[in-house]
Protein backbone atom coordinates (compact mmCIF):
# COMPACT_ATOMS: atom_id res chain seq x y z
CA UNK A 1 0.00 0.00 0.00
CA UNK A 2 1.38 3.39 -1.00
CA UNK A 3 1.64 6.09 1.68
CA UNK A 4 0.06 9.42 0.59
CA UNK A 5 2.75 11.92 -0.45
CA UNK A 6 5.36 9.19 -0.85
CA UNK A 7 6.39 8.66 -4.45
CA UNK A 8 6.83 5.10 -5.66
CA UNK A 9 8.66 5.00 -8.98
CA UNK A 10 6.82 2.91 -11.57
CA UNK A 11 8.70 0.23 -13.54
CA UNK A 12 11.90 1.29 -11.80
CA UNK A 13 14.05 -1.78 -12.38
CA UNK A 14 12.65 -2.51 -15.84
CA UNK A 15 13.26 1.04 -17.07
CA UNK A 16 16.85 1.27 -15.85
CA UNK A 17 17.65 -2.23 -17.10
CA UNK A 18 16.42 -1.26 -20.58
CA UNK A 19 18.20 2.10 -20.50
CA UNK A 20 21.75 1.48 -19.26
CA UNK A 21 23.89 -0.42 -21.74
CA UNK A 22 27.27 1.31 -21.17
CA UNK A 23 28.27 2.17 -17.60
CA UNK A 24 30.87 4.72 -18.77
CA UNK A 25 28.40 6.81 -20.81
CA UNK A 26 26.12 9.83 -20.36
CA UNK A 27 22.39 9.37 -19.75
CA UNK A 28 19.39 11.68 -19.46
CA UNK A 29 16.57 11.45 -16.93
CA UNK A 30 14.24 13.83 -18.72
CA UNK A 31 11.68 13.95 -15.89
CA UNK A 32 13.49 13.80 -12.54
CA UNK A 33 10.39 13.90 -10.31
CA UNK A 34 11.71 12.75 -6.95
CA UNK A 35 14.73 10.98 -8.37
CA UNK A 36 13.82 7.31 -8.15
CA UNK A 37 15.09 6.51 -11.63
CA UNK A 38 18.05 8.89 -11.32
CA UNK A 39 19.38 7.28 -8.16
CA UNK A 40 19.22 3.80 -9.64
CA UNK A 41 20.86 4.93 -12.88
CA UNK A 42 23.72 6.50 -10.91
CA UNK A 43 24.19 3.25 -8.99
CA UNK A 44 24.74 1.46 -12.30
CA UNK A 45 27.30 3.92 -13.72
CA UNK A 46 31.07 3.82 -13.35
CA UNK A 47 33.08 6.84 -12.20
CA UNK A 48 33.28 7.84 -15.88
CA UNK A 49 29.50 7.90 -16.35
CA UNK A 50 27.29 10.97 -16.10
CA UNK A 51 23.60 11.68 -15.64
CA UNK A 52 21.79 14.85 -16.72
CA UNK A 53 18.31 15.39 -15.26
CA UNK A 54 15.57 17.81 -16.27
CA UNK A 55 12.53 19.01 -14.32
CA UNK A 56 10.59 22.27 -14.26
CA UNK A 57 9.05 21.66 -10.83
CA UNK A 58 10.95 23.74 -8.20
CA UNK A 59 10.26 21.04 -5.59
CA UNK A 60 11.92 18.46 -7.84
CA UNK A 61 14.96 20.70 -8.22
CA UNK A 62 15.14 20.99 -4.43
CA UNK A 63 14.97 17.20 -4.12
CA UNK A 64 17.76 16.88 -6.70
CA UNK A 65 19.94 19.02 -4.45
CA UNK A 66 20.10 16.08 -2.05
CA UNK A 67 22.14 14.09 -4.57
CA UNK A 68 25.77 14.92 -3.82
CA UNK A 69 27.38 13.14 -6.73
CA UNK A 70 29.83 14.77 -9.19
CA UNK A 71 28.46 12.52 -11.94
CA UNK A 72 25.03 14.18 -11.64
CA UNK A 73 23.79 17.52 -12.96
CA UNK A 74 20.29 19.02 -12.71
CA UNK A 75 18.60 21.47 -15.08
CA UNK A 76 15.58 23.48 -13.90
CA UNK A 77 13.68 23.40 -17.18
CA UNK A 78 11.24 21.25 -19.06
CA UNK A 79 12.42 18.28 -21.07
CA UNK A 80 11.56 20.06 -24.30
CA UNK A 81 15.11 21.46 -23.91
CA UNK A 82 16.91 18.11 -23.99
CA UNK A 83 17.63 18.58 -27.70
CA UNK A 84 20.00 21.39 -26.66
CA UNK A 85 22.48 18.82 -25.33
CA UNK A 86 25.41 17.99 -27.65
CA UNK A 87 24.43 15.88 -30.65
CA UNK A 88 24.90 12.11 -30.31
CA UNK A 89 26.27 12.59 -26.78
CA UNK A 90 23.95 10.28 -24.83
CA UNK A 91 23.66 6.51 -24.52
CA UNK A 92 20.11 6.71 -23.23
CA UNK A 93 17.12 9.00 -22.61
CA UNK A 94 14.45 8.12 -20.05
CA UNK A 95 11.07 9.89 -19.91
CA UNK A 96 8.66 9.08 -17.08
CA UNK A 97 5.56 11.07 -18.01
CA UNK A 98 3.58 10.57 -14.83
CA UNK A 99 2.72 13.26 -12.28
CA UNK A 100 4.59 12.48 -9.08
CA UNK A 101 2.74 11.47 -5.92
CA UNK A 102 4.00 14.52 -3.95
CA UNK A 103 2.51 16.75 -6.65
CA UNK A 104 -0.84 14.95 -6.58
CA UNK A 105 -0.96 14.71 -2.80
CA UNK A 106 -0.03 18.35 -2.11
CA UNK A 107 -3.30 20.35 -1.81
CA UNK A 108 -1.51 23.63 -2.54
CA UNK A 109 -0.51 22.40 -6.01
CA UNK A 110 -4.14 21.94 -7.07
CA UNK A 111 -3.64 18.76 -9.11
CA UNK A 112 -6.22 16.62 -7.31
CA UNK A 113 -9.95 16.83 -6.67
CA UNK A 114 -9.38 14.73 -3.53
CA UNK A 115 -8.09 17.77 -1.63
CA UNK A 116 -9.37 21.31 -1.32
CA UNK A 117 -6.75 23.74 -2.55
CA UNK A 118 -6.05 26.55 -5.02
CA UNK A 119 -6.79 25.59 -8.62
CA UNK A 120 -3.22 25.86 -9.88
CA UNK A 121 -1.90 22.67 -11.61
CA UNK A 122 1.27 24.30 -12.95
CA UNK A 123 4.29 22.00 -13.00
CA UNK A 124 6.50 25.07 -12.67
CA UNK A 125 4.94 27.34 -10.05
CA UNK A 126 7.45 30.11 -10.80
CA UNK A 127 6.00 31.00 -14.19
CA UNK A 128 2.96 30.80 -16.42
CA UNK A 129 -0.80 30.97 -15.93
CA UNK A 130 -2.65 28.79 -13.41
CA UNK A 131 -5.82 26.87 -14.30
CA UNK A 132 -7.88 29.28 -12.17
CA UNK A 133 -6.46 32.28 -14.05
CA UNK A 134 -7.19 30.71 -17.42
CA UNK A 135 -10.74 29.68 -16.47
CA UNK A 136 -11.42 33.23 -15.27
CA UNK A 137 -11.38 34.56 -18.84
CA UNK A 138 -11.72 31.61 -21.26
CA UNK A 139 -14.90 31.32 -23.33
CA UNK A 140 -17.24 28.33 -23.28
CA UNK A 141 -16.04 26.91 -26.59
CA UNK A 142 -12.36 27.25 -25.59
CA UNK A 143 -12.93 25.40 -22.33
CA UNK A 144 -15.05 22.71 -24.00
CA UNK A 145 -12.42 22.13 -26.68
CA UNK A 146 -9.65 21.67 -24.10
CA UNK A 147 -11.70 19.26 -21.96
CA UNK A 148 -12.83 17.29 -25.01
CA UNK A 149 -9.40 17.08 -26.66
CA UNK A 150 -7.19 16.44 -23.63
CA UNK A 151 -9.66 14.66 -21.36
CA UNK A 152 -11.71 12.77 -23.97
CA UNK A 153 -14.73 13.91 -21.95
CA UNK A 154 -18.04 13.52 -23.81
CA UNK A 155 -19.72 15.99 -21.45
CA UNK A 156 -17.13 18.69 -22.21
CA UNK A 157 -19.68 21.28 -23.35
CA UNK A 158 -21.97 20.97 -20.29
CA UNK A 159 -18.91 21.20 -18.04
CA UNK A 160 -17.68 24.32 -19.84
CA UNK A 161 -21.11 25.93 -19.66
CA UNK A 162 -21.29 25.22 -15.92
CA UNK A 163 -17.88 26.83 -15.34
CA UNK A 164 -18.78 29.99 -17.24
CA UNK A 165 -22.25 30.21 -15.69
CA UNK A 166 -20.72 30.00 -12.24
CA UNK A 167 -18.25 32.73 -13.19
CA UNK A 168 -21.02 35.05 -14.34
CA UNK A 169 -23.16 34.41 -11.27
CA UNK A 170 -20.68 34.24 -8.40
CA UNK A 171 -17.21 34.90 -9.78
CA UNK A 172 -14.49 32.61 -11.17
CA UNK A 173 -13.81 29.10 -9.90
CA UNK A 174 -10.73 29.29 -7.67
CA UNK A 175 -10.45 25.99 -5.79
CA UNK A 176 -10.26 22.30 -6.67
CA UNK A 177 -13.37 21.50 -4.63
CA UNK A 178 -15.43 24.14 -6.43
CA UNK A 179 -14.41 22.78 -9.81
CA UNK A 180 -15.01 19.15 -8.83
CA UNK A 181 -18.52 19.98 -7.60
CA UNK A 182 -19.34 21.86 -10.82
CA UNK A 183 -18.13 18.96 -12.94
CA UNK A 184 -20.07 16.42 -10.87
CA UNK A 185 -23.25 18.36 -11.58
CA UNK A 186 -22.58 18.47 -15.33
CA UNK A 187 -21.33 14.90 -15.95
CA UNK A 188 -24.38 12.65 -16.04
CA UNK A 189 -22.73 9.25 -16.19
CA UNK A 190 -19.26 7.93 -15.43
CA UNK A 191 -17.39 4.65 -15.45
CA UNK A 192 -17.79 2.69 -12.19
CA UNK A 193 -15.20 3.73 -9.63
CA UNK A 194 -14.12 6.86 -11.48
CA UNK A 195 -14.74 10.33 -10.07
CA UNK A 196 -16.74 12.52 -12.50
CA UNK A 197 -13.98 15.16 -12.35
CA UNK A 198 -11.15 12.82 -13.41
CA UNK A 199 -11.18 13.63 -17.11
CA UNK A 200 -11.66 17.36 -16.65
CA UNK A 201 -8.78 17.65 -14.18
CA UNK A 202 -6.54 15.62 -16.50
CA UNK A 203 -7.44 17.82 -19.45
CA UNK A 204 -6.80 21.11 -17.68
CA UNK A 205 -3.47 19.89 -16.30
CA UNK A 206 -2.27 18.72 -19.71
CA UNK A 207 -3.38 21.96 -21.34
CA UNK A 208 -1.99 24.43 -18.81
CA UNK A 209 1.42 22.71 -18.91
CA UNK A 210 1.41 22.12 -22.70
CA UNK A 211 2.35 18.53 -21.88
CA UNK A 212 1.66 16.92 -25.24
CA UNK A 213 3.45 19.63 -27.20
CA UNK A 214 6.44 19.33 -24.86
CA UNK A 215 6.46 15.55 -25.27
CA UNK A 216 6.59 15.90 -29.06
CA UNK A 217 9.52 18.31 -28.80
CA UNK A 218 11.34 16.06 -26.33
CA UNK A 219 10.94 13.00 -28.54
CA UNK A 220 12.36 14.87 -31.52
CA UNK A 221 15.18 16.12 -29.32
CA UNK A 222 16.00 12.59 -28.25
CA UNK A 223 16.82 11.64 -31.83
CA UNK A 224 19.42 14.40 -31.94
CA UNK A 225 21.14 13.60 -28.65
CA UNK A 226 21.11 9.79 -28.76
CA UNK A 227 24.22 8.15 -30.16
CA UNK A 228 24.05 5.04 -32.33
CA UNK A 229 22.82 2.16 -30.17
CA UNK A 230 21.45 4.54 -27.53
CA UNK A 231 18.14 3.70 -25.88
CA UNK A 232 14.92 5.69 -25.70
CA UNK A 233 12.74 4.55 -22.79
CA UNK A 234 9.33 6.22 -22.27
CA UNK A 235 6.77 5.45 -19.56
CA UNK A 236 3.32 6.90 -20.20
CA UNK A 237 0.17 6.82 -18.08
CA UNK A 238 -2.71 7.66 -20.39
CA UNK A 239 -3.71 6.97 -23.97
CA UNK A 240 -2.97 10.45 -25.35
CA UNK A 241 0.68 10.25 -24.28
CA UNK A 242 1.14 6.63 -25.28
CA UNK A 243 -0.37 7.26 -28.71
CA UNK A 244 2.18 10.01 -29.37
CA UNK A 245 5.08 7.81 -28.24
CA UNK A 246 3.85 4.79 -30.19
CA UNK A 247 3.38 6.81 -33.38
CA UNK A 248 6.75 8.53 -32.99
CA UNK A 249 8.60 5.22 -32.66
CA UNK A 250 6.62 3.68 -35.53
CA UNK A 251 7.24 6.65 -37.82
CA UNK A 252 10.98 6.57 -37.16
CA UNK A 253 11.23 2.80 -37.44
CA UNK A 254 10.73 2.70 -41.20
CA UNK A 255 12.26 4.26 -44.29
CA UNK A 256 10.15 7.22 -45.36
CA UNK A 257 9.74 8.32 -48.97
CA UNK A 258 8.81 11.86 -49.99
CA UNK A 259 5.95 11.54 -52.49
CA UNK A 260 6.72 15.03 -53.77
CA UNK A 261 10.22 13.90 -54.75
CA UNK A 262 9.83 10.28 -55.95
CA UNK A 263 13.44 9.95 -57.10
CA UNK A 264 14.99 11.32 -53.92
CA UNK A 265 16.53 8.82 -51.49
CA UNK A 266 14.26 7.89 -48.56
CA UNK A 267 14.75 9.26 -45.08
CA UNK A 268 16.47 6.32 -43.41
CA UNK A 269 14.81 4.92 -40.31
CA UNK A 270 16.27 6.28 -37.09
CA UNK A 271 14.87 3.87 -34.47
CA UNK A 272 14.31 0.19 -33.90
CA UNK A 273 11.43 -0.67 -31.58
CA UNK A 274 12.54 -3.09 -28.86
CA UNK A 275 9.38 -3.70 -26.92
CA UNK A 276 6.44 -2.68 -24.78
CA UNK A 277 6.22 -3.50 -21.06
CA UNK A 278 3.38 -3.24 -18.53
CA UNK A 279 3.69 -3.41 -14.73
CA UNK A 280 3.17 -6.82 -13.19
CA UNK A 281 0.32 -7.74 -10.88
CA UNK A 282 2.47 -7.36 -7.76
CA UNK A 283 3.56 -3.82 -8.66
CA UNK A 284 -0.03 -2.75 -9.38
CA UNK A 285 -1.18 -4.26 -6.07
CA UNK A 286 1.52 -2.35 -4.16
CA UNK A 287 1.15 0.87 -6.18
CA UNK A 288 -2.30 1.21 -7.83
CA UNK A 289 -1.11 4.29 -9.73
CA UNK A 290 1.01 1.93 -11.85
CA UNK A 291 -1.99 0.17 -13.36
CA UNK A 292 -2.21 2.36 -16.48
CA UNK A 293 1.54 2.57 -17.15
CA UNK A 294 3.02 1.48 -20.48
CA UNK A 295 6.76 1.51 -21.13
CA UNK A 296 8.06 1.58 -24.71
CA UNK A 297 11.70 1.03 -25.59
CA UNK A 298 13.53 1.84 -28.83
CA UNK A 299 17.14 1.90 -29.99
CA UNK A 300 18.83 4.64 -32.02
CA UNK A 301 20.15 3.39 -35.35
CA UNK A 302 23.16 4.83 -37.18
CA UNK A 303 22.26 8.00 -39.09
Return d(Cα 182, Cα 159) in angstroms, integer. 7
Percent of the chain with pLDDT over 90: 81
Strands 226-236 and 294-300: antiparallel
Could you tell me which residue, 264 or 107, shows the higher pLDDT? 107
Q: What is the pLDDT of residues 126-146, one digit of tens each?
A: 999 999 999 999 999 999 999
- The pLDDT-based confidence of 259 (bands split at 50, 70, 90) is low
**Class in CATH terms, 124-208:** mainly alpha
What is the CATH code for 12-102+211-300? 3.40.50.150
- The pLDDT-based confidence of 192 (bands split at 50, 70, 90) is confident
Nearest to 109 by CA among 213, 5, 2: 5
Percent of the chain with pLDDT over 70: 93
Question: Where exactly are the structural domains of the chain?
Answer: 12-102+211-300, 124-208
Contact 72, 49 (CB under 8 A): no
Return d(Cα 211, Cα 127) in angstroms, integer. 15
Which pLDDT does position 4 carry in this prediction?
43
Q: What is the pLDDT of residues 45-58, one digit of tens each?
A: 999 999 999 999 99
Four-residue CA torsion sign, 29, 32, 37, 41:
positive
Q: 175: which DSSP letter?
A: B
Return d(Cα 39, Cα 34) in angstroms, integer. 10
User: CA torsion 94→99→102→105, rounded to 10°?
Assistant: -160
Question: Hey, how many other C-beta atoms are within 10 angstroms of the C-beta on 83?
Answer: 16
Nearest to 222 by CA among 231, 211, 213: 231
Return d(Cα 50, Cα 27) in angstroms, integer. 6
- Residue 226, SS3 per DSSP: strand
Q: What is the pLDDT of residues 226-252, one digit of tens each?
A: 999 999 999 999 999 999 999 999 999
- Interacting residues of 220 by C-beta distance below 8 A, sequence separation 6+: 83
**Mean predicted confidence (pLDDT) in 50-68:** 96
Maximum Cα–Cα distance across the chain: 64
Amino acid sequence: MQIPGQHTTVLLGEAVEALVTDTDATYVDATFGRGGHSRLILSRLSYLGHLVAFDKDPDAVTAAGEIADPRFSMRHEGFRHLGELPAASCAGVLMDLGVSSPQIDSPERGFSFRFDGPLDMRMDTTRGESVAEWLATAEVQEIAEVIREYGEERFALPVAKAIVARRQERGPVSTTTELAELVAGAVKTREPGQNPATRTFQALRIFINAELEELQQALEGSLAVLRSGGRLVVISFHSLEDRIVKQFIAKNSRDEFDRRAPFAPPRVMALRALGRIRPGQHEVAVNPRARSAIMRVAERLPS
